[in-house]
Amino acid sequence: MKFDILKHKLVPHHEILKEKEVEKLLRTYNIRKENLPRILTTDPVVQAIGAKEGDVIKIVRESPTAGTSVAYRLVVSKGIE
């Protein structure tokens, strides 16, 4: 039995954004995908949710000051540029 890291209390909620949602996100912030913060394909959570290079992941964290905080990350294979 493998331990499900997604259920660990220190691992925040990760989800892969759909194409449409990504477009909307990029429009909201008026950015290109490369301007997003990154996460490696080798990251355990990325592998656990099955994200591929180029996907955008939405992360919802609990925050002591803001209740919940949302962040987005672009999945990359190794540092880009």
Partner 1 sequence: MITTSKKVIDEISFGLLSPEKIRKMSATRVITPDTYDEDGFPIEMGLMDTRLGVIEPGLRCKTCGQNVRECPGHFGHIELAMPIIHVGFVKTIFNIMKATCRGCGKLLLTDKEVEKLREDYKKIVEMGESTAYFAKEVAKMAVKVERCPHCGRENLPVELDKPTTFREAGHKMTPAEVREWMEKVSEALGKDLLLLDINPEVARPEWMILTVLPVPPVTTRPSITLETGERSEDDLTHKLVDIIRINQRLQENRDAGAPQLIVEDLWELLQYHVTTYFDNQTAGIPPARHRSGRALKTLAQRLKGKEGRFRSNLSGKRVNFSSRTVISPDPNISINEVGIPIRVARELTVPIKVNAHNIEKMKELVRRGPSPEPPAGVVYIPGVNYVIRPDGRRIKVTKENASTVAERLEPGAIVERQLQDGDIVLFNRQPSLHRMSMMAHKAKILPYSTFRLNLAVCPPYNADFDGDEMNLHVLQSEEARAEAEILMKVQEHILSPRFGGVIIGAIHDHVTGCFLLTYKNREFSREDAIRILSSAGYKGKVTGKMKGKEIFSKILPKGINLEYKAKACNGCEKCLKEKCPYDAYVVIKNGKLITGVIDEKSIGAFKGEIIEYITRKWGTEEARSFIDRLTKLAIAAIMTIGFTTGIDDEDIPEEAQLQIREQLEKAKKKIQQLIRAYNEGELEQIPGRSLEETLEMEIMRVTGKARDQTGEIASKHLGMDNSAVIMARSGARGSMLNLSQMAGCVGQQAVRGERIRRGYKNRTLTHFKKGDLGAEAKGFVSSSYKNGLTPTEYFFHSMGGREGLVDTAVRTSRSGYMQRRLINALENIKLEEDGTVRTTTGEIVQFVYGEDGVEPMRSIRGKAVNLDLIIKEVANE
Write out the residues near partner 1 by the rule CB under 8 A.
Answer: 29, 31, 34-37, 61, 63, 65-66, 69-72, 78-81
Is the CB of 46 or the CB of 73 nearer to partner 1? 73
For residue 24, the minimal CB distance to partner 1 (Å) is: 14
Minimum CB distance to partner 1 smaller for 22 or for 36: 36
CA distance 43 to 49: 10
Q: Which is nearer to partner 1, 35 or 47 (CB)?
A: 35
Q: Which of 26, 58, 34, 33 is nearest to 45 (CA)?
A: 58
Minimum distance of partner 1 from residue 75's CB (angstroms): 15
Shortest approach of partner 1 to residue 5 CB, angstroms?
Answer: 23
